[in-house]
Structure 1
Amino acid sequence: MPGLNLTRDEARTRADLLTVHSYEVTLDLTRGDRVFGSTTVVSFAAEQGASTFIDAVADTVHRVELNGVELDPAEVADGVRVQLPVLAASNTLVVEADMLYMNTGEGLHRFTDPVDGEVYLYTQFEVPDSRRVFAVFEQPDLKSTFRFSVTAPSHWDVISNMPTPEPVPAGPAEGAGNSTWYFEPTPTMSSYVTALIAGPYQSVRSELTSSDGRTIPLGVFARKSLMQYMDAENIFALTRQGFEFYEEQFGTPYPFGKYDQLFVPEFNAGAMENAGAVTFVETYVFRSRVPDATVERRAITILHELAHMWFGDLVTMRWWNDLWLNESFAEFMSTLAAAEATEFEQAWTTFAILEKGWAYRQDQLPSTHPIVAQINDLEDVQVNFDGITYAKGASVLKQLVAWVGQDRFMEGVRQYFAKHSWKNTELVDLLSELEAASGRDLKAWSALWLETAGVNTLSPEFTTDDDGTITSFAILQTAIEAFPTLRPHRLAVGFYDLDGGALVRTHRLELDVDGERTEVPELVGRTRPALVLLNDDDLAYAKIRLDPASLKTSVLHVKDFRDSLPRTLVLASAWDAARDGETPARDYVELVLQNIGAESDSSVVLVLLRQLASALAFYVRPEDREAMADAAADRLLDLALAADAGSDAQLQFTRAFSAHARTASQLDTVEAMLAGERVPEGITVDQDLRWELLTSLVVGGRAGEAQIDAELARDSTATGALAAAAARAALPTAPAKEAAWAALVESTDLPNATQRSMIAGFTRVHDRSLLEPFVERYFASVQDVWATRTHEIAQQIVVGLYPSLLTTQDTLDRTDAFLAALGDSSPSLRRLILESRDGVERARKAQAADR
């Protein structure tokens, strides 16, 4: 639609014209299942005589009144924007409209629980979707106060940014059985962090005392049919730990009046930092046993969103090019809080293998960009919630903290909040406070780390005499031609030797590295260790390589590291080398399978299993893939049987075996497990594991529609429906794939979560030839999908249905032909296709090295 893609220039022009004072938003949620009523009254100042527009993505605009003058909606409203001509110095605008409920996870999402037929609503506004609920100047620097009044069924709960008031029963005009909730005005905030959650949610309540003595009410919410699985006390405990840690570190009390955490259905992301009313994906309500890694991930997410109450909500970036000010800080602070204030003391190990792995992948794509990205319009930012903005930014902050010291860093942060609370900021505002606190000039640091793209690689170079004494030691730094910047790094070098069978650190040196070559005279004269580890303690953001002798030690003894973090760094280096086509992928597969059984960190096991799956799917030679995958599945079953009964590793190995099972004997075992036989002692085949086992049988041709229907009858829940949709799309027949394709691409009515599940099932195949008929159809349809669907729905299709598994030259050629025809007409679509193409090209390079 014209006007959906707001440009930065338009936003800057509008911000220069306006000062927004307040919004009064009245919503009527009793008008059926298609639209809801929305009336917005906006008070704002403007440049006398100027003209501008307000955003309102509406089904129908019924009334527009500007300063007491009725404007014809047919003339000023196009369904996306409402034009506002000849403004006064002080203005009052009224917009009455019908807005559409969404099933895409954007705007006001509507969901019906199949268990009890109850309706649940929630909003998701980041980046530009508050305009789907009320008329608004949709940009982060036009902050205001918001007062919501909501009419809804009386048995619902209605939650927003402010404490929920007592509902007032509606009069005859509003309909029997309805009530209205009149909320108090919010503090000054950006529209994208306002929120409305409504429906018969159930809750558990608690409270805490903030650092300024206020009592802060706490709430944890979920659908009625899920509340039995909610471990609210665990969530409250983490929340209290996070509050205490952040208030002390930031020197600023929690800025809002209450803190609710709501687990909502069909959510697109992990969570969203609505001020005082954070929404989370429902899979964080564990109805079946999950790995400890997933519990840790939820904890990090809880702490991440809580950090946003300061970084993002209290102080907000002026425009989306500084999105990293929100996300990188929340990512860094959540890991720091987890490691220093909760039971998750190994959080930096998880950060090293999970978050940094994400950053390194993203930073090697052709679409990589500086942390402070150039954001020209909303389409740019919507594809920029990526590993650079989150994980690389957090990694660079960790590097900065190592350089300036944590105490000085936090002092700068405290001054930042003291000066800019309730305002909008840019990069320079933060850097000036950090400079003042640390005494360091950060301009050069910012230019190299925040304003350039690409990841460096660090390697050791040293010589020894006949006795093994080091006679020279240097650290070499390289960069690729496309992104040649060499950067300063604060890092540690660790020496490791075997001690009683354990690989332990015997020496550590922390230093600054800069340029192509950094001599390290402090290590000259020391005895060469069994293993030299650059970036020990993971202070720096850089890929590392091992010298040949250290690499040999790591292959033989990676499981013998006494601590998890150095072990993880060595494994991450091996994974980098395999992905980069420097070492054979089969060696990495063997390294994982030989050592994962001894790994004690759940998150490391989880990531290694994902990387094992990727190596087998993409990086080993196609002619060897089937045999290696079969052997890997057998080994995973052996690991599951050998693991301690009831252990986290046993659960993960069992699930991984099911996902990889493909031979007749392996599928026999899966079939027996589903029947309750041959189950490893300590494993409970709960409902979610049943779906995994059944889907494995479906992909292998051992089960079909009848078994899927029977399982859905057993699990007639929203989760069951998603699992059934994935299983049906995974049926290994041409008609099943054709039906899934039609539903995903040709139909437009699939809810976001169902679409996501079906894409996962569609691409889960043993016989890749089933996907070949859809390659040409993908390229023929993807532009129309991008032009006609909402961002979330379109991106799922564009990325999820790209023929990534067909790692052939033909796939590259077809992609190149599409990109040539596309030209520069859609930069965001072009970026997504380029990223997918890079995956195929990388796979082919790795396959060529897998000899």
Structure 2
Amino acid sequence: MPGENLTRLEAEERQSIVQTHAYEVSLDLTQGPETFRSTTTVHFDAKPGSSTFIDAITKTVHSVTLNGQSLDPAQVSDGVRIQLDDLAEKNVLVVDADALYTNSGEGLHRFVDPVDDEVYLYSQFEVPDSRRVFAVFEQPDLKATFQFTVTAPDYWEVVSNSPTPEPTPAGDSNSTWAFEPTPVISSYITAIVAGPYVVERSELTSASGRVIPLGVFARASLAQYLDADYIFEKTREGFAYYQEKFDFPYPFAKYDQMFVPEFNAGAMENAGAVTFTETYVFRSKVTDAIKERRVVTILHELAHMWFGDLVTMKWWNDLWLNESFAEWASTIATAEATEWTEAWTTFQAMEKSWAYKQDQLPSTHPVVATINDLEDVQVNFDGITYAKGGSVLKQLVAWVGIDAFFAGVAAYFKKHQFGNTTLGDLLSELETTSGRDLSGWSKLWLETAGVNTLRPEIETDDAGTITSFRVLQSAAADYPTIRPHRLAIGFYNLVDGQLVREHRVELDVDGESADVPELVGQTRPALVLLNDDDLAYAKIRLDETSLATAIEHLSKIENPLARALVWGAAWDATRDAETPASDYVSLVLGNIASETESTTIRTTLNQLLLAASSYVAPEKQKATSERVGDALWTLASEAEAGSDAQFQFVKFFAAIASTPAQLDKIEGLRRGDIRLDGLSVDTDLAWELLIALVAGGRAGTTEIDAELLVDNTASGQQSAAHARAAIPTAEGKAAAWASVLDSDDLPNTIVRTTGLGFQRAADDALLEPYIDRYFESLQGIWKDRTYKIAEYVAVLFYPGGLASDELRRKTAAWLDANPEPAALRRLVVENLAGTERALKAQERDAQ
């Protein structure tokens, strides 16, 4: 990977020399399973006599022609870059090469469907991987038009950013598709998707009066599960919402949404040709949390058509401008334009918890991050870039007002369409529409790291009347910034058995102590909730009286967003080792049955399992995990038949089941001897139950192989890999380790699921031998594998479940001995932080 890096300084220097105009890319996808032919013609201007390079990760370069003169590929190409010297003012470059398909989800990914042996291809170019498919000046501020010509089997669907043309015969049952040039866009949002995909088509009329063709694609073996009508419905709702709020018509010629195999992320915003993980094609029952997440993702990518594709950041330090805006916009659009009206509750439960966790790691960084090179940006797709940035934008909207915010965004799109911008360009428009100076706000919120904590300080007289109310603000010692917050304070009391809000004030809070005179003279309520409605980005703490009320009556809080805030505050205090993890376990088990929001349930149960397995004192972990397992089974048995809650309780029960009695229930469910009304054990749930049995020593390779015969699909193979890696023997862990660490043959999704299974070990002795092996392997893996595979190994094969002092010491020692590379160090620093936090939580729980 180091040879494939690109620094910001290199990009700035190249941009000062080169101005790109047009690419013509011809791809021949009929050469076999390893390589494809890629011929690129680039039209660009340059400073006469200057030198630079173009990016091209290739297997073989056949020829390089610059302004009609042949260059020796052996002299100018190293397989990653092609050197270009003595440039003219106007230049035409032609590069003819063989490029490699990948199985890592980067570049042009090639997948063979085990169901029917059909080949499916899709591109994934963000951040620096269009250079794996064609020769390109790989940086976002060198925009151009892109004209693709693709030769492929004649029965395939071939999709790119422009509408798909009628193909022409190319012989040997192949055809050629010659696409029209795109508008001026960045290379990382170009796309090629090809294969025998099944497509459903529709259309809509844009705000400009143009008819926009719509397409929804999936593999043939998954097409029966594709609910295209619903996806079209959410797409239309998103188009209507964004075109009204942004006051700018959809900027591209068509809008295709393609669900593709072995995808590394949730989705990718290729202009007019969005790719999604095909886990969003539901072949089995999924939670309401996943259904809602799919809608948010659909609207997230649609928002990118304006913010990111129409107007693009100049360099990757403003990646947050893309992702944070899409995060915020998709949440408000989901809440206001679809049936998922509690999207802000989901945002609090999921995104906010992710942001707070990321912002308390040693690797935290300002929202506007320092991005020195491509490796920096690769690790920056994190909770700061997405979730904190989205939270900060929500705070900014509260600060300037929603109407002024949308007006500023609309002006920004009009002024900078098809161009590149920096943060200052957006803030300038918002200052104009709101009349507020945002330079100070930007410095405090976007250019500093860390999260503040807000606490109420309340004084009352003997009658319970408030005589003084202050909001106290603190900051971590390493990140001492005190920030201004726009927030609400809610007063909640018990009314007819429910905790309901009876009073609310909204105000600006600044400084380490802020008086709230509006609340003086009010009767102290049962629960005081800072940051009610979740306007601010800050951790909150409950005063002693409110905490007691919340613990006793959490399930009776009427408003789901208020409940999510209390759940979050309780978890924050547990993570910070302020309250014992055992208390958090009791709080969850005593209140989760009444929770109505699917994502809140999902997030809380994930935190419950982490608390039980890693945060309670070691001597209590086994008993606590058994208690949690028993309680989850009881909750599943007593939940409403067929409900989302019942389904989630069963899934999390399977994830923690360990005792003979618990495993008996798993076996009974799987065989059908035990039934829960309304619960169907479908294909995916059957795999989850089998993985539980394998991890518990009740099943092994024979049962895994038998299940795979029934479900020999891509999903089935991933689940089988997960199950094999969960075999609770030294031999099982060794086989899982060797399959990934000793070979580079496995595709990305199998590497990921093998890592998940490897982590599942009730007996610490199974993972202890891998502490040293992990650190011995890291540098070699980082050097020899693609970024995504190396990241999966660095994160998923770290034996963090041990949470031991030995692991802490050896992780710290590796960091001391390995000052480079920075991106790899960051992943290991985050691993260490998780171990240290677990040890602190264990120490607190033991008191």
* TM-score category of the 2 structures, normalised to the smaller one: over 0.9
CA shift for structure 1 position 44: 0.4
- SS across alignment from 2:488: strand
Q: How does 1:814-833 map to 2 (within 5 A)?
A: 814-823=810-819, 825-833=820-828
How does 1:218-237 map onto structure 2 within 5 Å?
A: 218-237=214-233
> For residues 638-684 of structure 1, what are the alpha-carbon distances to aligned partners after superposition, in whole Å with 9 as ceiling and x for unaligned?
11110111111111111111111110011011101110121211100
Residues 170 and 178 in structure 1, CA contact (< 8 A), matched pair in contact too: yes
| Aligned counterparts, 1:249-648, within 5 A | 249-648=245-644
Q: What amino acid is aligned across from residue 379 of structure 1 in structure 2?
A: E
1:538 alignment partner, SS class: coil
Aligned to 2:165: 165
CA distance in 2, matches of 1:24, 1:480: 52
Provide the secondary structure at the position in 1 that maps to 2:800: coil
Match of residue 836 from structure 1: 831
In the TM superposition, residue 802 of structure 1 has moved relative to its aligned partner by 1.0
Matched, 1:753 2:785: no
Distance 1:722 1:202 in 2: 23
**How far apart in 1 are the matches of 2:509 and 2:127?**
38
CA shift digits 1:312-332 (9 cap, x unpaired):
000000000000110000000
Q: Which amino acid aligns with 1:132?
A: R
1:703-742 to 2 correspondences below 5 Å: 703-742=699-738
Aligned position for 2:53: 53
Aligned AA (1:63): S
Matched, 1:73 2:73: yes
Query: What whole-Å deviation, never above 9, does each CA across 1:776-807 have from its counterpart, x for those lacking one?
Result: 00000101101111000000000111121111
Q: Which residue identity is paired with 1:623? A: E
User: Which AA in structure 1 matches 2:601?
Assistant: V
Deviations 1:353-395 (A, max 9, x none): 1000000000000000000000000000000000000000000
Q: Distance in 1 between matches of 2:756 and 2:363?
A: 24
Measured against aligned partners, the alpha-carbon deviations of 1:137-171 in whole angstroms (never above 9, x if no partner) come to: 00000000000000000011100000000110114
RMSD, aligned α-carbons: 0.6
CA-CA distance at 1:3 after TM superposition: 4.1
SS in structure 2 opposite 1:226?
A: helix
CA offset digits 1:532-564 (Å, max 9, x no partner):
000000000000000000000000001001110
Is 1:183 the counterpart of 2:179 in the alignment?
Answer: yes
Show CA shifts across 1:749-792 (max 9, x none).
Answer: 11000100100111111112100111100000101101111000
Task: Tell me: CA distance 1:2–1:657, structure 2 relative to 1, closer, same or farther (3 Å).
Answer: closer
Which residue does 1:136 correspond to in 2? Answer: 136
Alignment match, 2:106: 106
SS in 2 for 1:747: coil
Identify the residue that residue 120 of structure 1 maps to in structure 2: 120
Match of 1:798 in 2: 794
1:251-298 deviation per Cα after TM superposition (whole angstroms, max 9, x unaligned): 100000000000000000000000000000010000000011100000
Provide the residue aligned with 1:193 in structure 2: 189
For residues 774 and 392 of structure 1, what CA distance do their matches in structure 2 show? Answer: 34
Whole-Å separation in 2 of the counterparts to 1:24 and 1:66: 15
Distance in 2 of aligned mates of 1:739 and 1:398: 47
Structure 2: state its 5+ residue gaps.
none
Note if contact 2:725-2:733 (Cα within 8 Å) is conserved in structure 1: yes
**Normalization by structure 2: what TM-score?**
0.99
- Secondary structure of the residue that 1:180 maps to in structure 2? strand
- Structure 2 equivalent of residue 243 of structure 1: 239
Kindly indicate whether residue 844 of structure 2 is the aligned counterpart of residue 849 of structure 1: yes
Letter in 2 for 1:31: Q
C-alpha distance in 2 between matches for 1:290 and 1:487: 40
The letter for the 2-side match of 1:146 is: F
Q: Give the corresponding residue for 2:690.
A: 694
C-alpha distance in 2 between matches for 1:2 and 1:754: 25
- The secondary structure found in structure 1 opposite 2:111 is strand
Partners of 1:704 and 1:781 in 2: CA distance: 28
In the TM superposition, residue 2 of structure 1 has moved relative to its aligned partner by 5.7
Contact 1:3-1:81 within 8 A present in 2 as well: no
Asked whether the equivalents of residues 477 and 517 of structure 1 are also in contact (C-alpha less than 8 Å), the reply is yes
Report the secondary structure of 1:535's partner residue.
strand
Give the counterpart letter for 2:796 in structure 1: G
State the distance in 1 between where 2:485 and 2:512 align.
12
* Cα offsets for 1:236-258 (capped at 9, x unmatched): 00000000000011010000000
Query: Aligned partner of 1:138: which letter?
Result: E
The count of corresponding residues between Structure 1 and Structure 2 is 846
Q: How much has 1:616 moved relative to structure 2? A: 1.1
TM normalised by structure 1 equals 0.99
Q: Mean alpha-carbon deviation: is it higher for 77-86 or for 613-622?
A: 613-622
Partners of 1:78 and 1:514 lie apart in 2 by 55
Distance 1:663 1:838 in 2: 31
Give the deviation of 1:93 after TM superposition.
0.2
Q: Is contact 1:258-1:276 (8 Å) kept?
A: yes
TM-superposition CA deviations, 1:566-588 (whole Å, max 9, x none): 01101100000000000000111
Q: 2:771 aligns with which of 766, 771, 775?
A: 775
User: How many angstroms does 1:716 deviate by?
Assistant: 1.1
CA contact (8 A) 2:259 2:278 kept: yes
SS of the residue 1:192 aligns to: helix
In 2: Cα distance, 1:541 partner to 1:801 partner: 32
CA distance in 1: counterparts of 2:657 and 2:478, whole angstroms: 41
Structure 2 counterpart of 1:11: 11
Cα displacement (A) at 1:746 = 1.2
Distance 1:159 1:676 in 2: 44
C-alpha contact (below 8 Å) 2:2/2:783 kept by paired residues: no
Distance 1:826 1:714 in 2: 44
The one-letter code sitting in structure 1 at the alignment partner of 2:101 is: Y
The answer to whether the Cα contact below 8 Å between 1:57 and 1:132 also exists between their aligned partners in 2 is yes
Structure 1 moving runs of 4+ over 6 Å: none
Give distance in 2, aligned partners of 1:537 and 1:646.
31
Contact 2:320 2:367 (8 Å CA) reproduced? yes
Structure 1 residue matching 2:163: 3-state secondary structure: coil
> 1:458 aligns to what SS in structure 2?
strand
Q: 1:476 and 1:815 mapped to 2: Cα distance?
A: 36
Q: Tell me if the contact between 2:39 and 2:97 (Cα under 8 Å) persists in the aligned partners.
A: yes
Code of the residue aligned with 1:569 in structure 2: it is L
Residues 2/681 of structure 1: CA separation in 2 closer, same or farther (3 Å cut)? closer
Question: How far did 1:213 drift?
Answer: 0.5
Amino acid across the alignment from 1:380: D
- Percent of aligned positions that are identical: 64
Do the aligned residues in 1 keep the contact of 2:451 with 2:538 (CA within 8 Å)?
Answer: yes
- Matches of 1:841 and 1:232, distance apart in 2: 46
Q: Whole-Å Cα distance in 2 between the matches of residues 436 and 555 of structure 1?
A: 46
Whether 1:671 aligns to 2:667 is yes
Distance of 1:2 and 1:838 partners within structure 2: 26
